[in-house]
Amino acid sequence: MNKKTSPLVSVIMGSTSDLPIMDKALEFLDQMEIRFEVNALSAHRTPKEVEIFANKAAKRGVKVIIAAAGMAAALPGVIAANTTLPVIGVPIKSSLDGMDAAFSIMQMPPGIPVATVAINGALNAAILALQILSLTDKKLMRKMSDYKQGLKAKIVKANEDLAKLDYNYKVN
């Protein structure tokens, strides 16, 4: 693969049934103009392919892997076991309120961390990936900083709106 077109972030999901959740991560990466790839792989249904993917990812120029899975979510951990790249895990709520996936992803043995975001926390996974990439890219660092400023603006506006609420005992 041509290095110029190689993805910086690889987004992997256990099934296309995870896509409605993972779409938020893809949207964010797109909006931030981060080259990414998106594929489905399953630790249980395609174990050999997961190993091959994880072994080759760094050589292909990938810097961060986002791996999403539901139920007995082994995918992020198995990927992390086969690469030195940072792996961000997204537990998908598909059974047991997503607790099964959350525990499967976060309870990794010492030596094989998976940075686990909240259940269905796809957007935060993409933001964390951008933060990791921005450590060595000033342009991305600026984008991250602009994004944070945008979050602040939202709360400033919220306080303007709350200030307009009228209650007898509200004193601000």
Q: Does 42 bind ligand RP5 (CB under 6 A)?
A: yes
| Nearest CA among 14, 116, 132, 145 for reference residue 62 | 132
| Nearest CA among 136, 113, 114, 135 for reference residue 125 | 114
Q: Does 145 bind ligand RP5 (CB under 6 A)?
A: no
| Nearest CA among 150, 91, 148, 147 for reference residue 115 | 91
Taking the complex as a whole, how short is the minimal distance between the CB of residue 98 and ligand RP5, in angstroms?
A: 9
Please identify which residue in 69, 126, 130, 140 interacts with ligand RP5, judged by CB under 6 A: 69
* CB nearer to ligand RP5: pick between 12 and 130: 12
List residues bridging with 137 in a β-sheet: none
Distance CA 1, CA 105 (A): 30
* CB nearer to ligand RP5: pick between 115 and 140: 115
Q: Does 18 bind ligand RP5 (CB under 6 A)?
A: yes
Give residues 73-92 in contact with ligand RP5 (rule: CB under 6 A): 92
Using the contact rule CB under 6 A, the part of the chain among 15-23, 56-64, 114-122, 129-137 near ligand RP5 is 15-23
Using the contact rule CB under 6 A, the part of the chain among 68-76, 109-117, 130-138, 149-157 near ligand RP5 is 68-76
